[in-house]
Structure 1
Amino acid sequence: MKRCLMIDRQKAESLIERIEKYYSILAEFKKLTLEEYLKDIKTVYSSRYLIQVCVESCINLSNHIIASDKMGVPSEYADTFRILCKNNLIDEKLTAQLINMTRFRNRLVHLYWDIDDEFVFEIINNNLEDINAFVKSIKQYLKLLKL
């Protein structure tokens, strides 16, 4: 597939830096036990927000690449990851995980009053590496483009 190569390097790097910053803060919460996590309301609410903005930044980065390289038009947030998969930037397993993270992001935004904080803790401990894998895949792609 011919690439348009109109990706704004500074924008992509800025989004990657943001994702990595959010990821590193969330990773700190892995040191906590479930009881410690649930007891600290500031940690609970900040982790919810950090997951939301981290996933949104992944979506924004994906949309920038998709639009720049004319890969297609996503009809919903989850489509951004499907399009990246279709264009071999991420694999199917990671795509499925990122779609699940996007669904959870939607829940955080639209059903914020009905969030299971034990589930948030599980995401931090079991699914955070999906964000890291996404960033690595995008960095590899940008390196191939020599950006």
Structure 2
Amino acid sequence: MSINKDFINKIVEEIKASIKIILEYSRDPFESLDDARKYSIRYHLIVIAEALSTLSIYLSRRLLKRTPETPLHAVHILMENKLIRSEEYRDMINVIKSRNLLVHRYWIINDEIIYNNIKRDFKNILAFINRVVDYVSKN
């Protein structure tokens, strides 16, 4: 099966756009964030998680000819095949697990903890998606 470059690029652009918005909102002190911005951060974390899940499943199937059972399994397959570094694996797994909390157990979410975690930035996720784009553009 071939890799659809446009599909990959669309997913990557969604991730980058959501990261940009989250980082923009997290420049302000937590106390100054209104509910709309807090919920926007939550939404964009879900977008990032969904896009990373889709990308991981797609690459597992198309590139590695494997059929993952879950998004987390897809990320694990990519790591087993040395397509994801350990730091990227950790961050991607955390984002995907956070998505599950945000969607299914939203009432236990502490927005300040989310805020403090996103302040660390998304360099590992960006490194992974940039490597994917480089690979796709060369093949």
Q: Tell me the TM-score normalised to structure 1 length.
A: 0.86
Task: Output the CA distance in 1 between the equivalents of 2:59 and 2:105.
Answer: 29
Contact 1:7/1:69, CA 8 A, preserved across alignment:
yes
Uncovered stretches (5+) of structure 1, i.e. residues with no partner: none
Calculate the aligned-residue CA RMSD, in Å: 1.6
Instruction: Determine helix, strand or coil for the equivalent of 1:131.
Output: helix
Match of 2:19 in 1: 23
Supply the distance in 2 between the matched residues of 1:127 and 1:82 (Cα, whole angstroms).
22
> What is the distance in 2 between the residues matched to 1:142 and 1:122?
33
The question of 1:7 aligning with 2:3 is answered yes
Q: Does 1:120 align with 2:114?
A: yes
Q: Residues 89 and 141 of structure 1 are in contact (CA less than 8 Å); yes or no, is this contact kept in structure 2?
A: no
1:92 equivalent in alignment to 2:97 = no
**1:54-133 pair list within 5 angstroms:** 54-133=48-127
SS at match of 2:107: coil
AA at the equivalent of 1:26: I
Percentage of pairs with the same residue: 28
The 8 Å contact of residues 30 and 125 in structure 1, kept in 2 or not, is answered as yes
Match of 1:142 in 2: 136
Give 4+ residue runs of structure 1 displaced > 3 Å after superposition.
none
Checking the alignment, whether the CA contact within 8 Å between 2:75 and 2:93 is kept in structure 1 is yes
Please list every run of 5 or more consecutive structure 2 residues that lacks an aligned counterpart in the other structure. Answer: none
- Report the TM-score, using the length of structure 2 for normalisation: 0.90
What is the aligned partner in structure 1 of residue 37 from structure 2?
A: 43
Q: Deviations over 1:93-137 (max 9, x none)?
A: 211221111111110111012111011102220153332122123
Aligned length: 139
- Cα 1:140–1:88 shift into 2, 3 Å: farther
